[in-house]
Amino acid sequence: MKPPKFDYFAPDSIESALTLIAEHGDDARYLAGGQSLVPMMNFRVAAPSALIDLNGIATLRGIKVDKNSRLHIGAMTRTREIEMDSTIASANPLLHAAAPHIAHIQIRNRGTIGGSLAHADPAAEMPGIVLACNAEINSIGPAGPRSIAAGDFFEGIYSTALQDGEMITEIVFPPWPAARCWAFQEISRREGDFAMIGIAAWFDLNETGEISAASLTAIGAGDTPLRLPAAEEILSGQPPGDVLFAEAAQAAVNELDPGSDLHASAEYRREVGGVLVERALKTALQREAPGYTA
Amino acid sequence: MTTSSPYIGASVKRLEDRRFLTGTGRYIDDVKLPDMAVMAIYRSPHAHARINSIDLAAARAVPGVIDAFCAADIDMDLPVIPLRLAPFDGFERFLQRPIAQDKVRFVGEPVAVVIASDRYIAEDALDLIEVDFAPLPAVTSVDQAASGETLIHEDAGENMGTRYTVGRGDTDDAFSDAPYTRRERFTTNRHGAVPMETRGLIAEFDPDAPLLRLYGATKVNFFNRRHLAAAFDLPEEAVELIETDVGGGFGARGELYPEDYLVPIASRRNGRPVKWIEDRRENLTATNHSRDIVCDLEIATSNDGKILGMRATVQGDMGAYVRTNGGVVASKAAQFLPGPYRVPSFSCDVQFLITNKTPVGTFRGPGRFEANFCRERLLDMVAADLNIDPAELRLRNLMEPAELPYRIGELVPGDVNATFDRGNYPSALNQLLDEVGYADWKDRQGEIIDGRAHGLGIACFIESSAAGPPETARVTVAPDGNIEIRTGASSVGQGTETGLAQICADYLAIDIDRINVLHGSTTLVPTGGGTFHSRNTVMAGNAVRMAAEALRTRSIELAALRWNTDAGGLEYRDGAVHRGDDPGSILSLAELAAFARSRGPDEALAADAAFDNEGKLSYSYGAHAALVAVDVATGVIEVKKYVLTEEIGRALNPAMVQGQAVGGLVQGLGGTFLDHMIYDEDGQLLTGSFADYLLPTSTELPEITAIALEESPSEFNPMGFKGAGEGGIVAVAAAVGNAVVHALNAHGIQINDLPITPNRLRAALRATGT
């Protein structure tokens, strides 16, 4: 479990990182927190000729809310910083709540949001949360900077819209209404393991108490994190309640088409996906109305 | 001899922990010798294949590669790895040689070896080794093995390693008239010890001296020395096995493996020390697996639940070769199936089947964990069928003190004298029931609390300890009066140094800080037994006691010479010899040691002892209880509370006993819920890293109460010790399985297979329409 030989560079600016990746060609890789790439190198599943380490680029880190209430998180911001950040607790409580589910503290101390998105494990939390929140993923590459909608970013297992030499620079989350109802639920074999199935849910209520916008996202249910449009559609425009939530859960079961692996069958994922949708929606509503009991 | 005992029975802090906690332990990878090279192994990627050719040219050409070799390059007769335990007739056909010759039989079998200046280069070279394999069909289940359609060892003509029937009483008679019978099939998941520190070895082989020094040895060093000496045609004294600190053994570490031969071969070929450190990927395929049995168990009882008989078939999946532990797993599963109960008739067909998987060996509580799961699950089914409370059913059938000792019969071939020693099994269960509040829980099974179904399960166990050869100790007083203990027993991290120092300190009536314990290495003592079967405290503990007692006698003899007086008037107390007729006259151990040396170069204040229990085993027994909460909709189980009682005769160090119980229990929870070596139909291990092979972590722990009972000291050693290392693990799957079934009693599911996972539980519930 030792990697083959590789070159290592530690640039201190985005510009020099781009220059280095251009010089070292297709076999060079950016190194973020290294929590997935380095084990893959040790197993010799990945064998980059060069690592361009982004950890020394200060402009890639940081958490801020802009004047339009959008949350900006630098790609190299550690998961643990996101978990502990009080700004994020209010600026995107869903993200804040999902962060502790990501592996263990030691890994969160090192792993980054950008690294997780670029790695694109379909059972990972960060990809699911950016998709759930309609976040934008800002990147820069040989062709210059661009912004990629989360919905366009994930293309398959470990596969994204990032082109050769392109790196994520920051993730921008739309404003989070203070009254938004939300919940994150996942089932894993052990605390910190990848989700066998997980659900991120939020909805907004209009002045007459109907659901004006809803988002349901599943992780661990396919090749990428997945929105559940049929279930979202059922919620849309309706007053929240147990019957509606059960219908949404059934719609989720119907539209989920997960695979099987060592830890859970497709049937388990589909069935429990529905259970988690229903629980997440109930939990979300409870946040809005503390007196609510399911 | 009477002695005060401030240390024995006290929770003395572990002497080892200072160096472990300050990072100054010396593990095998900490050992670095001049001019040392490293070894890496090309392991078979196939479960079953013929080797057509091996090309090492490209590997040898890598800069930094010192040597590369395969079986054809080794200029000695390749020895077979010997059978140390349970060496049943027939197994001789399935023994492993250190490196594959014409065929590979499991994923991970060594095929070729690279020696290089560092591990990175060695692995680069492994990537360049070209082996032309002709794949063969893989045998991955006991049924497939039994069919014999694909032969793994062609010369044997079958895949049945061996097969025998054991029993006592007349089961045909018992079953033919029985008012109630039930038969169930149980399977226990293949998993293994997976110690935190993987294996590792360093060999220094000088054929001219001759000397083979092997660092990284542990467990059974004297047995291993004997066989390594024979394999390399050396006199035994030319082979030195050196023990380092060890980060976990649990039965798997310290047995002879292919690498114990390959590392010395590599050193001899290259005339320099060679180190091999097993990486985690290797560890999961190269180190013994365990537990993998299928058991068909049938029980006959009276209408009031009295057991009339049990009959069973146990099929053990042995993996591709029979290694040092022989038939221990399946044979002990069979032997312990009747457990601590009154089972007048029992018969068991025991089959050892060869498959294309990693070979199996012992793992903490071998066979016991498996047997307890099968029997205790079945007893709960009996209780439900006959409408008897599960605890009551057990109390009706547990042997009473008056029935002990009890000769269990020849339930392992050749083991004709096996006898449960004295004890009080109902007492251990009753104390468990009190502690866990069973009376409150038995009518609340299945209760929904906060949306989850709750259940309490119980299980009883008995297990043996302290088998094997005598153990040795030598106690020596240094010139400064400090004491050195040397023993043939090994330490695998369990606190052996502390325990032995406690005994020695009490018997010599000195401060424990004056004692240093050296263990395991063959250079320390002429012979030794080793460490397995929870035997260190019993065997090495009593050897140290005897040596300390002899040292007191020797001290008095030396004092008598020094004072030129009669030994009868002298007394040993408080770490010195006192003169009865002159109360002020004292000779300390340091003074006596100096006096001894002054008498001649070969004189010392020292004593040797060996303790032999003549094969009389002590049986630890007790009961476990688990309280679980089950999320019915997701199949997620939480163990909320766990209580166990374990009769261990006498606790040398209650804190360490507690540590053994808790550690065993946590490992048992792993085996119950998580640990699972899963193979596909091609014989590929799918759980080959910690991403998929799941171990319990600190986040998975329930509230634990472990109660060590000291009601029934062993009769077979003067200190009364019984083994305390395995009682914590052996009944975990049984208690948890019963608890889950009780929690879900509204749904009528059964748990017959391990591990219990959310996926499996939901599948079972779904089948009932839940």
Cα–Cα distance, A201 to A182 (Å, whole number): 5
Nearest to A189 among B674, B763, B766 (CB): B674
* Residue whose entry in the numeric block shows the structure tokens 């009753």: B430
Mean pLDDT, residues B61-71: 98
Q: What is the CATH number of the domain that holds A232?
A: 3.30.390.50
Cα–Cα distance, A32 to A21 (Å, whole number): 14
CB of A262 less than 8 A from some CB of B = yes
CB of B687 less than 8 A from some CB of A = yes
CB of B694 less than 8 A from some CB of A = yes
Q: CB–CB of B758 and A196 under 8 A?
A: yes
pLDDT (0 to 100) of residue A26 = 85
CB of B696 less than 8 A from some CB of A = yes
pLDDT (0 to 100) of residue A287 = 80
Nearest to B694 among A2, A189, A265 (CB): A189
pLDDT (0 to 100) of residue B5 = 83
The identity of residue B468, as a single letter, is: G
Cα–Cα distance, B355 to B145 (Å, whole number): 6
CB of A4 less than 8 A from some CB of B = yes
Residue among B294, B368, B357, B378 at smallest CA distance from B329: B368
Mean pLDDT, residues B115-142: 98
Within-domain flag for B188? no
pLDDT (0 to 100) of residue B90 = 98
Q: What b/e sequence results for B549-565 when a residue is b if at least 16 CB atoms lie within 10 Å of its CB, and e otherwise?
A: bbbbebbbebbbebbeb
CB of B767 less than 8 A from some CB of A = no
Nearest to B686 among A196, A262, A272 (CB): A262
* Residue A265, min C-alpha distance to chain B (Å): 7
CB of B278 less than 8 A from some CB of A = no
Tokens at residue B157, please? 């003509």
pLDDT (0 to 100) of residue A294 = 34
pLDDT (0 to 100) of residue B426 = 98
* Residue whose entry in the numeric block shows the structure tokens 């830890």: A263
Burial class of residue B585, CB neighbours in 10 A (0-12, 13-18, 19+): middle
Cβ neighbors of B184 (< 8 A, separation 6 or more) are: B296, B297, B298, B374, B377, B378, B381, B750, B752
Q: CB–CB of B634 and A263 under 8 A?
A: no
Within-domain flag for B496? yes
Mean pLDDT, residues A38-45: 96
Q: Do A159 and A80 belong to one domain? A: yes
* Residue whose entry in the numeric block shows the structure tokens 């994190």: A225
| Chain A residues with beta carbon closer than 8 angstroms to that of B757 | 189, 263
Within-domain flag for A91? yes
What average pLDDT does chain A have?
Answer: 96
CB of A190 less than 8 A from some CB of B = yes
User: Nearest residue of B to residue A104 by CA position?
Assistant: B699
Q: What is the CATH number of the domain that holds A31?
A: 3.30.43.10
Alpha-helical runs (H) found in B205-257: 221-231
Q: Do B578 and B647 belong to one domain? A: no
Cα–Cα distance, A189 to B637 (Å, whole number): 10
Q: Do A22 and A86 belong to one domain? A: no
CB of A5 less than 8 A from some CB of B = yes
pLDDT (0 to 100) of residue A293 = 39
In which region does residue B417 sit, left (phi positive, over 0), alpha (psi from -120 to 50) or beta (all else)?
alpha
Q: Do B638 and B559 belong to one domain? A: no
Q: CB–CB of B700 and A190 under 8 A?
A: yes
State the total domains in chain A.
3
* Residue A130, min C-alpha distance to chain B (Å): 24
Identify the helix (H) or strand (E) that includes residue B556: helix B541-563
Q: CB–CB of A44 and B692 under 8 A?
A: no
Domain around B35: 31-136+198-246+253-286
Within-domain flag for A293? no
pLDDT (0 to 100) of residue A235 = 98
Cβ neighbors of A241 (< 8 A, separation 6 or more) are: none
CB of B634 less than 8 A from some CB of A = yes
Q: Do A132 and A238 belong to one domain? A: no
Sign of CA dihedral B96, B97, B102, B107: positive
Of A130, A157, A173, the residue that ends a domain is A173
CB of B604 less than 8 A from some CB of A = no
Q: Do A276 and A200 belong to one domain? A: yes
Of B286, B305, B339, the residue that ends a domain is B286
Within-domain flag for B7? no
Q: CB–CB of A267 and B763 under 8 A?
A: yes
* Residue B636, min C-alpha distance to chain A (Å): 8
Tokens at residue B53, please? 């050719």
Cα–Cα distance, A26 to A10 (Å, whole number): 18
Q: CB–CB of A2 and B687 under 8 A?
A: no
Residue among B185, B170, B404 at smallest CA distance from B308: B170
User: Nearest residue of A to residue B634 by CA position?
Assistant: A272
Within-domain flag for A1? no
Tokens at residue B682, please? 């091609």
Q: Do B677 and B737 belong to one domain? A: yes
pLDDT (0 to 100) of residue B1 = 47
User: Nearest residue of A to residue B678 by CA position?
Assistant: A262
Q: CB–CB of B674 and A190 under 8 A?
A: yes
Q: CB–CB of B634 and A2 under 8 A?
A: no
Identify whether the C-beta of residue A141 lies closer than 8 Å to the C-beta of residue A162.
Answer: yes
Nearest to B759 among A2, A191, A264 (CB): A264
What average pLDDT does chain B have?
Answer: 97
Q: What is the CATH number of the domain that holds B376?
A: 3.30.365.10
- Model confidence at A288, in pLDDT bands (50, 70, 90)? low
Question: DSSP for A123-179?
Answer: T-HHHHHHHHTT-EEEEEETTEEEEEEHHHHEEETTEESPPTT-EEEEEEEPP--TT
Tokens at residue B737, please? 């399985």
Give the up-direction half-sphere exposure of residue B421: CA atoms within 13 A in the CB hemisphere. Answer: 24
Which residue has better confidence, B581 or B95? B95
User: Which range is least confidently modeled, B102-116, B183-197, B689-703?
Assistant: B689-703
Residue among B734, B768, B762 at smallest CA distance from B748: B768
Q: Do A198 and A158 belong to one domain? A: no
Q: Do B21 and B65 belong to one domain? A: no
CB of A263 less than 8 A from some CB of B = yes
Of A120, A148, A173, the residue that ends a domain is A173
Of B235, B268, B286, the residue that ends a domain is B286
- Model confidence at B268, in pLDDT bands (50, 70, 90)? very high
pLDDT (0 to 100) of residue B26 = 97
| Chain B residues with beta carbon closer than 8 angstroms to that of A123 | none
Residue B223 per-residue DSSP state: H
Q: Do A108 and A160 belong to one domain? A: yes
Q: Do A24 and A38 belong to one domain? A: yes
CB of A199 less than 8 A from some CB of B = no
CB of A64 less than 8 A from some CB of B = no
Q: Do B124 and B266 belong to one domain? A: yes
Q: Do A147 and A199 belong to one domain? A: no
Residue B671 per-residue DSSP state: I
Tokens at residue B624, please? 């476990």
Nearest to A271 among B127, B281, B762 (CB): B762
Within-domain flag for B312? no
| Chain B residues with beta carbon closer than 8 angstroms to that of A43 | 281, 689
Q: Do A49 and A63 belong to one domain? A: no
SS3 call for A111? coil
* Residue A169, min C-alpha distance to chain B (Å): 29
State the total domains in chain B.
3
Q: Report pLDDT digits (tens) over B624-655.
A: 999 999 999 999 999 999 999 999 999 999 99
Q: Do B453 and B573 belong to one domain? A: no
Q: Report pLDDT digits (tens) over A154-186.
A: 999 999 999 999 999 999 999 999 999 999 999
pLDDT (0 to 100) of residue A291 = 41
Cα–Cα distance, B79 to B96 (Å, whole number): 9
Identify whether the C-beta of residue A60 lies closer than 8 Å to the C-beta of residue A75.
Answer: yes
Q: CB–CB of B758 and A264 under 8 A?
A: yes
* Residue B279, min C-alpha distance to chain A (Å): 7
Mean pLDDT, residues B257-284: 98
- Model confidence at B583, in pLDDT bands (50, 70, 90)? confident
Of A53, A70, A85, the residue that ends a domain is A53
Mean pLDDT, residues A125-131: 98
Q: What is the CATH number of the domain that holds B48?
A: 3.90.1170.50
CB pairs under 8 A between A and B: 67
Q: Do B592 and B516 belong to one domain? A: yes
Q: Do A100 and A186 belong to one domain? A: no
Alpha-helical runs (H) found in chain A: 14-24, 37-42, 79-84, 86-91, 93-98, 105-108, 113-119, 125-132, 150-153, 229-235, 242-255, 266-288
* Residue B727, min C-alpha distance to chain A (Å): 25
CB of A294 less than 8 A from some CB of B = no
Q: What is the distance of C-alpha B98 from the center of its chain? A: 23
- Model confidence at B694, in pLDDT bands (50, 70, 90)? very high
Within-domain flag for B361? no
SS3 call for B285? helix
Q: CB–CB of A267 and B766 under 8 A?
A: yes
Q: Do B519 and B555 belong to one domain? A: yes
Q: Do A64 and A132 belong to one domain? A: yes
Question: DSSP for B490-542?
Answer: --SSSSHHHHHHHHHHHHHT--GGGEEEEES-TTTSS----S-TT-IIIIIHH
| Chain B residues with beta carbon closer than 8 angstroms to that of A103 | none
Identify whether the C-beta of residue B253 lies closer than 8 Å to the C-beta of residue B283.
Answer: no
* Residue whose entry in the numeric block shows the structure tokens 């009551």: B392
Within-domain flag for A147? yes
Identify whether the C-beta of residue A190 lies closer than 8 Å to the C-beta of residue A213.
Answer: no
pLDDT (0 to 100) of residue A143 = 95
Q: CB–CB of B692 and A1 under 8 A?
A: no
Cα–Cα distance, A108 to A101 (Å, whole number): 10
Residue among B466, B472, B469 at smallest CA distance from B609: B472
* Residue whose entry in the numeric block shows the structure tokens 């005994």: B503
User: Nearest residue of B to residue A278 by CA position?
Assistant: B633
User: Which range is least confidently modeled, A281-290, B85-94, B246-255, B431-440?
Assistant: A281-290
| Chain B residues with beta carbon closer than 8 angstroms to that of A4 | 120, 123-124, 127
Q: Do B550 and B624 belong to one domain? A: no
Residue A44 per-residue DSSP state: T
Q: CB–CB of B758 and A189 under 8 A?
A: yes
Within-domain flag for A44? yes
Q: Report pLDDT digits (tens) over B709-731.
A: 999 999 999 999 999 999 999 99
φ, ψ (nearest 5 deg) of residue A135: -70, 165
pLDDT greater than 60 at residue B2: no
Residue among B110, B117, B99, B113 at smallest CA distance from B38: B117
Cα–Cα distance, B453 to B86 (Å, whole number): 44
Within-domain flag for B746? yes
Start-to-end CA span in chain B (Å): 67
| Chain B residues with beta carbon closer than 8 angstroms to that of A264 | 758-759
Domain around A73: 59-173
Q: Do B599 and B697 belong to one domain? A: no
User: Which range is least confidently modeled, A171-185, B1-15, B331-345, B564-578?
Assistant: B1-15
pLDDT greater than 50 at residue A198: yes
User: Which range is least confidently modeled, A28-42, A275-289, B118-132, B391-405?
Assistant: A275-289
Burial class of residue B694, CB neighbours in 10 A (0-12, 13-18, 19+): buried
Q: Do B590 and B487 belong to one domain? A: yes
Identify whether the C-beta of residue B78 lies closer than 8 Å to the C-beta of residue B101.
Answer: yes
* Residue whose entry in the numeric block shows the structure tokens 């196939």: B46
Residue A190 per-residue DSSP state: S
Q: What is the CATH number of the domain that holds A96?
A: 3.30.465.10
Tokens at residue B445, please? 């099974």
CB of B124 less than 8 A from some CB of A = yes
Identify whether the C-beta of residue B631 lies closer than 8 Å to the C-beta of residue B706.
Answer: no
Q: Do B509 and B553 belong to one domain? A: yes
Within-domain flag for B303? no
pLDDT (0 to 100) of residue B216 = 98
Tokens at residue B662, please? 């808790």
